[in-house]
Structure 1
Amino acid sequence: MRVAFVLGTASGGTGRHVLMLVEGLVKLGHQVLVIGPGSVGEQFSFGEAGARFVEVPVSDRPDPVNDVRAVLAIRRLTRGADVVHAHGLRAGALAALGRRGPVVTLHNALTTGGFVGVVYGVLERIVARRAGHVLTVSPDLGERMRRLGARDVRAALIAAPVPRPAKRTPQEIRDELKAGERPIVLTVARLAQQKGLETLLDVAAGPWQEGREPLFVVAGGGPLQGELQRRIDAEGLPVVLLGNRDDVPDLLGAAVALLMPSRWEGQPLTLREALMTGTPAVASDVGGIPEILGDAGILVPYGDTGRFRDAVRELLEELGTARTLAEAAGRRGREMPDGDDAVTNVLGVYRA
């Protein structure tokens, strides 16, 4: 089978998912072409995985001239493909304009309005009307695409890569962070609007029982770093911004819980990585989070600072609850699909 993937300016999670599909399909003897911006090709090295990579600029914002060029390039490059599989809304819309009936996986939802929201709505309608199959990472995305008239909407199966073993002990991490006796509550996220980090700071502000204040540790960089740091400094909040880290398994090993106050998530790799290390989570009840978390944590309505704080306090003070949720996290982690499951799933879609 000849499979062509189309990508835009993919995030880490989307790019890793496509790379895993490429590796699995090539291993099974399929011919794979990846079309996307040069930066994505450099970041994920699809060529080393056995695919042919062709650079086509697919920007993350509307650009009529470049968008027409991208549509024409996709049409030309995919002429001999048996399947075209686009990832992301913009890539999906351009692929659908370039060739009718592609498979489109939607990895994200819109969390802002205005002009961006209008453009997003137009792209959604293009995908709904012209895609052959739409795969979505959360039930709410699937329902929206059905309302817009998509013919075949299915749940996307995103594999959970097995995290590497921790290289440092929890005490070594605690010493690095100068945590003292404070329990560590970890967030791993890009510092951006979607991640709801203003709620995290509100939770950290307390009040907390004297001597029981947790240390909130945030791993990740992004456009809101300066703004968040200024508030942390001004209010003296017990929050440490670490920037981007490559030792998340070590951080998870030292944390009592993962805190995920996001406005929306699909199938976040960080949450599944936490579960696979036996770390329970306190997370927003949005998008695909409930299906992944199951009984391995506490769901809270997005933005409800008081209930987020109560949930963290429960994990810190109720040892039985913490132990039960940690056991459930380990169990959920063992149930996560792997790369072979994801490849088998997409092949079923391609042959439908």
Structure 2
Amino acid sequence: MTESLKIALVLTASTGGIGRHVASLTPRFAAAGHRVRVYAPETTARAHGFAGADVRPPAELRRLSGADVLHAHGYKAGGLAVPVRLLRRTPLVVSWHNAVLGLDRQAAAARLLQRFVARGADLTLGASSDLVQQARWCGARNARLGPVAAPALAAPTGDRDAVRAALGFGPDRLLVLTVSRLAPQKNLGMLLDVAAEVRADVRLGFVVVGDGPERNALQDRIDAERLPVALVGSRNDVPDLLAAADVALLTSTWEARALVAQEALLAGVPLIATKVGGVPELVGDGAVLVRSGDAPAAARALRHLAELPFLRAELAARGRAEAAAWPDEDAVAADVLAAYHSVLR
């Protein structure tokens, strides 16, 4: 039996993918006999629970003692963990989940923090290959890929036709689904550009699930241009919406392992996505990839999928084949434990 470890995990505010990833790890670590403590803000702890772990506020991290390994998720969490690593000499693993975008002062400060964290960690795990390369540029002494698994996709519970009808879609209209925070990185202006390109085609309609700071601006443009796009806000029935969708659309300027892309391929929904970050290595040939901002190319792909049902079926099958090769949550947890043992050696 592998020796039991005392593991300390550190997060900053996360109600999304990073928190879900850690919430996937904690019960698996506990089931393997390891003692797990999570340092996270109350909002993060409330959103994810972290089963199997003792949850503490980040302020208590400075009193850390007795841990065998410290694992920070995100470079901001790494900024909290590096001083503790230096003081307590606890081996530190840092997972990079997001890139720093933009050229303003805030982005410049974030890049300085990345350098500090990269040089202070014993091992850096990047959720995508471009993050691994970025960590190396920042001075990481040891960096490698550390995939993040999508949680198992729940089975739909609603009737497909009823879900579509509630959204205003009959049997002859294609539902193009986007699940996204309404924020700049998601580049939803490109989605509206695509909708404008195909608005004359009455077969196509767009549904955007999610909320965020750009909602009002997006709705104003939808209304002004009479675009066939519905912003439906946050929903807790994404499996039903995926089952109701004909095509999924991802327009982000950057993603590592986009959860919505993983869910679309797992659900067998044909995906059109921007060729950014870790998306190409994630989806392989299981999706149609276009350059970021290239709305005409995305619109052409959408028209082809609308006109040729066999293409949608083929793309869905290729997507499922790609998804079958992804590591599941158990495999990812085992990979992270192997990373811990590597720094302990």
Alignment equivalent of 1:43, drawn from 30, 47, 68: 47
Equivalent residue of 2:272, what SS?
strand
Q: Is the 8 A contact 2:82 2:120 kept in 1?
A: yes
Q: What is residue 68 of structure 2 aligned with on the other side?
A: 82
| Aligned equivalents of 1:126, 1:74: Cα separation in 2 | 18
Q: Is the 8 A contact 2:128 2:147 kept in 1?
A: no
Shift of residue 93, structure 1, vs aligned partner = 1.7
Q: Is the 8 A contact 1:217 1:242 kept in 2?
A: yes
Alignment equivalent of 2:151, drawn from 129, 140, 161: 161
**Percent of pairs identical after alignment?**
42
Q: What is residue 282 of structure 1 aligned with on the other side?
A: 272
Alpha carbons of structure 1 residues 201 and 74: separation in structure 2 relative to 1, 3 Å: same
Shift of residue 200, structure 1, vs aligned partner = 0.2
CA deviations on 1:211-246 (whole Å, 9 max, x unpaired) are 43x111101111111111111111110000010111
| Aligned equivalents of 1:210, 1:230: Cα separation in 2 | 22
| Aligned equivalents of 2:93, 2:83: Cα separation in 1 | 12
Between 235-244 and 105-114, the greater mean CA deviation after superposition:
105-114
Shift of residue 284, structure 1, vs aligned partner = 0.6
Shift of residue 113, structure 1, vs aligned partner = 2.4
Alignment equivalent of 1:191, drawn from 164, 179, 182: 182
Alignment equivalent of 1:272, drawn from 234, 238, 262: 262
Q: What is residue 240 of structure 2 aligned with on the other side?
A: 250
CA deviations on 1:147-175 (whole Å, 9 max, x unpaired) are 12211111112122221111122211211
| Aligned equivalents of 1:210, 1:39: Cα separation in 2 | 43
Alpha carbons of structure 1 residues 167 and 97: separation in structure 2 relative to 1, 3 Å: same
Alignment equivalent of 1:20, drawn from 24, 40, 45: 24
| Aligned equivalents of 1:338, 1:207: Cα separation in 2 | 37
| Aligned equivalents of 2:220, 2:17: Cα separation in 1 | 29
- Could you tell me which runs of 5 or more consecutive residues in structure 1 were left unpaired when the two chains were aligned: 57-69
Between 147-156 and 190-199, the greater mean CA deviation after superposition:
147-156
Equivalent residue of 2:189, what SS?
helix
Q: What is residue 10 of structure 1 aligned with on the other side?
A: 14
CA deviations on 1:182-232 (whole Å, 9 max, x unpaired) are 2000000001111010000010012455443x1111011111111111111
Q: What is residue 66 of structure 1 aligned with on the other side?
A: none
Equivalent residue of 1:215, what SS?
strand
Q: What is residue 296 of structure 1 aligned with on the other side?
A: 286
Code of the aligned partner of 1:146? R
| Aligned equivalents of 2:115, 2:300: Cα separation in 1 | 41
Q: What is residue 206 of structure 1 aligned with on the other side?
A: 197
Shift of residue 270, structure 1, vs aligned partner = 1.5
Alpha carbons of structure 1 residues 31 and 14: separation in structure 2 relative to 1, 3 Å: same
Equivalent residue of 2:38, what SS?
strand
Q: Is the 8 A contact 2:93 2:123 kept in 1?
A: yes
1:52 paired with 2:54, answer yes
Q: TM-score, normalised by structure 2?
A: 0.93
Between 299-308 and 333-342, the greater mean CA deviation after superposition:
333-342
| Aligned equivalents of 2:56, 2:326: Cα separation in 1 | 32
| Aligned equivalents of 1:290, 1:143: Cα separation in 2 | 16
CA deviations on 1:73-92 (whole Å, 9 max, x unpaired) are 42322x21000000011111
Q: What is residue 67 of structure 1 aligned with on the other side?
A: none
Equivalent residue of 2:197, what SS?
coil
Structural RMSD (CA): 1.3
Alpha carbons of structure 1 residues 20 and 142: separation in structure 2 relative to 1, 3 Å: same
Shift of residue 332, structure 1, vs aligned partner = 2.1
CA deviations on 1:53-74 (whole Å, 9 max, x unpaired) are 1112xxxxxxxxxxxxx5xx42
| Aligned equivalents of 2:253, 2:81: Cα separation in 1 | 28
Q: Is the 8 A contact 2:174 2:247 kept in 1?
A: no
Shift of residue 339, structure 1, vs aligned partner = 1.5
| Aligned equivalents of 1:89, 1:198: Cα separation in 2 | 28
Q: Is the 8 A contact 1:103 1:132 kept in 2?
A: yes
Q: Is the 8 A contact 1:84 1:103 kept in 2?
A: yes
Q: Is the 8 A contact 1:107 1:137 kept in 2?
A: yes
Shift of residue 11, structure 1, vs aligned partner = 3.6
Q: What is residue 176 of structure 1 aligned with on the other side?
A: 166
| Aligned equivalents of 2:202, 2:225: Cα separation in 1 | 18
Q: What is residue 115 of structure 2 aligned with on the other side?
A: 125
| Aligned equivalents of 2:256, 2:191: Cα separation in 1 | 19
CA deviations on 1:24-73 (whole Å, 9 max, x unpaired) are 00000100010121111122112xx12111112xxxxxxxxxxxxx5xx4
Q: What is residue 81 of structure 2 aligned with on the other side?
A: 95
